[in-house]
Structure 1
């Protein structure tokens, strides 16, 4: 696995997050997430995948509970938590996940997470984690641009 490329993804996303700090708590509409909520979602993703990355090395087949992003956002209530703290947690958690990935047992890469929509191997799950991160980097950049556009008109 190309963890150097994964590290580059993390660093590039952090640069974007840092540059958008002053926009972190702006909510465009009632049903859109703030940038801080988007970062918190990625912390949730890291936490869930931490469990998956470790447990799938210990068992050949596992079933994990479903993840509902809206429910997690509501329960987390990240609003009063500082953006810099959420960002630091995201960065640290992802560096830790890189450590796990670098030391993953190659024999476990074929272990599967049994899901309703089809099994996924640990190897595919690791790749998908960074695909998910890249999707959110694009969404984050789009949201930041939308906020800047609205702020520019104000």
Structure 2
């Protein structure tokens, strides 16, 4: 499978990260470094929004001809109100959604990894590229929340 390294990285994160997130005090999770910056809890929420949109991307790239998929991440975060949600529920949902993403990716026929979708920048990228980028993006943001 062409994305095995990314599946392995994501699987490792799902084993490691939830316990580390649970150790962070609620005050630290909800503190905003600036008015227009996300709290750690909102960053985790952003990763859930990313999972939601990439879930759609991973399916639609296989079933449509070069779908255009993007979203306004600040609006999604603001309208969801992640800082007000229960931390444990947020962590569990993030983990469960990503386990679901892994199951989807494992079912992708190898020839479909070369199919393309179009993002906000108007550029075509393959399903493989989107999945690898999804895991890279996740790690970038997780490092804003915890050290691992």
CA contact (8 A) 1:46 1:94 kept: yes
- Residue in 2 that maps onto 1:147: none
Offset of 1:42 from its aligned partner? Answer: 0.5
Tell me by how many angstroms 1:117 deviates: 4.2
1:100 deviates by 0.5
Decide which moves more: 13-22 or 92-101.
13-22
Stretches of 4+ moved more than 6 A in 1?
Answer: none
- Structure 1 residue 15: deviation in Å? 3.2
> Is the aligned partner of 1:121 residue 2:134?
no
CA offsets 1:94-131 (integer angstroms, 9 cap, x no match):
00001111111212111111233411100110110000
Using the alignment, how far apart are the partners of 1:118 and 1:21 within structure 2? Answer: 40
Alignment of 1:53-92 (within 5 A): 53-64=58-69, 66-92=70-96
TM-score (ref. length: structure 2):
0.85
The SS at the match of 1:33 is coil
Question: What is the count of residue pairs matched by the alignment?
Answer: 141
Which structure 2 residues correspond to residues 85-124 of structure 1 after superposition, within 5 A?
Answer: 85-115=89-119, 116-124=121-129
Sort the Cα spacing of 1:49 and 1:21 in 2 relative to 1 into closer, same or farther, 3 A.
farther
Q: Which moved more, 1:133-142 or 1:87-96?
A: 133-142
- CA distance in 1 between counterparts of 2:86 and 2:144 reads 21
Rounded to whole Å, the distance in 1 between the matches of 2:25 and 2:18 is 11
- TM score, norm. by length of structure 1: 0.82
Contact 1:59/1:111, CA 8 A, preserved across alignment: no
Structural RMSD (CA): 1.7
Which residue pairs with 1:16 in the alignment? 20
Q: Deviations over 1:27-69 (max 9, x none)?
A: 33322211111111110000000001111111242112x3222
SS class of match (1:67): coil
**Higher gyration radius (CA):** 1
